[in-house]
């Protein structure tokens, strides 16, 4: 299980949620309650794929700011997914 009191983990979640839309944030709250944990991995991986797909399309259309936001989202999601995946695999070993 992930240590939700960890400063590093809290920073990862805060950074990600600061970039995410309210709709997805509400979905995360429905899935996980007040914490973002391993239950959110499916949704986070889906969002990562969506954002990675959007980047070249936004770039091709010249939407620089939207592309930059997608790049920030990808940069926030990758370490968050990695942290949650590690926690999930540690939990499965126990």
pLDDT at 2: 59
Residue 35 is given by DSSP the state S
Q: Tell which residue, 85, 89, 10, has the closest CA to residue 44.
A: 85
pLDDT at 32: 79
pLDDT at 59: 96
pTM (two decimals): 0.70
Q: Where are the domains of the chain?
A: 7-93
pLDDT, one tens digit for every residue, the chain (94 residues)? 556 567 888 888 888 888 888 888 888 888 877 677 788 888 899 999 999 999 999 999 999 999 999 999 999 999 999 988 887 777 677 6
pLDDT at 9: 82
pLDDT at 4: 56
**Taking the alpha carbons of 62, 65, 69, 71 in that order, is the dihedral positive or negative?**
positive
92 within 8 A of 42, measured Cβ to Cβ: no
């Amino acid at each position: 299980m992930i240590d939700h009191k960890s400063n590093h983990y809290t920073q990862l979640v805060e950074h990600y949620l600061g970039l995410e839309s309210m709709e997805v944030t509400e979905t995360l709250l429905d899935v996980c309650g007040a914490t973002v944990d391993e239950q959110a991995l499916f949704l986070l991986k889906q969002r990562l794929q969506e954002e990675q797909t959007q980047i070249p399309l936004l770039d091709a259309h010249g939407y620089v700011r939207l592309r930059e936001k997608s790049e920030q989202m990808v940069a926030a999601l990758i370490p968050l997914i990695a942290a949650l995946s590690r926690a999930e695999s540690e939990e499965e070993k126990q």
